[in-house]
Copies of this chain bind each other. A is one copy, B any other.
């Protein structure tokens, strides 16, 4: 049993609701790798099928794993050790299944309220009660394409702000979601104040 994170660059939506592939952003890799490492995630998958984009992501990761960066900043090295570049969610599943043979449960994230979304609390309970490999899937651009949502087991309720503005970056949203799902701060038996 383990927890995984996937950042999907294709198929995602653009501003007009069309299917596109987005470019990999250097700071997405850094931030989400560090957040994943902080919350005990086994592997962080950067999902992009385009060879030139995969090459770029590999270069960033290798710089911090083996290049000058490894010596300069070990906190980034440790985060990059769990980061892997793949082409699609099938490759994510193959990679996870190499490790053990529990079922894989994919959980999509979205900024939109939709029917039948699972709450943070219920998903956290499932983690404790139903052994599986859980993979939390984040979309870049304007969110995951609906065709991808069909292969997904659950869609997580969105983060809701104080007013009607709700436009977090994927770096911020993934940090909040990992915190709510995995932080010991929210353990029910935690001593409060």
Copies in the complex: 2
Q: Per-residue 0/1 for A154-179: is the Cβ within 8 Å of any B Cβ (1 yes, 0 no)?
A: 00000111110111110111111001
Count of chain A residues near B, Cβ 8 A: 42
The answer to whether A31 touches B172 (Cβ under 8 A) is yes
CA A40 to CA B161, docked complex, whole Å: 7
CA A40 to CA B179, docked complex, whole Å: 20
The answer to whether B184 touches A175 (Cβ under 8 A) is no
Q: Chain A interface secondary structure, helix, strand, loop or mixed?
A: helix
Within the complex, what minimum Cβ distance (angstroms) separates A2 from chain B? Answer: 12
CA A168 to CA B79, docked complex, whole Å: 10
CA A73 to CA B167, docked complex, whole Å: 11
The answer to whether A162 touches B179 (Cβ under 8 A) is no
Within the complex, what minimum Cβ distance (angstroms) separates A174 from chain B? Answer: 8
A162: contacting residue among B15, B40, B120, B173, CB under 8 A: B40
State whether the Cβ of A133 lies closer than 8 Å to any Cβ in chain B: no
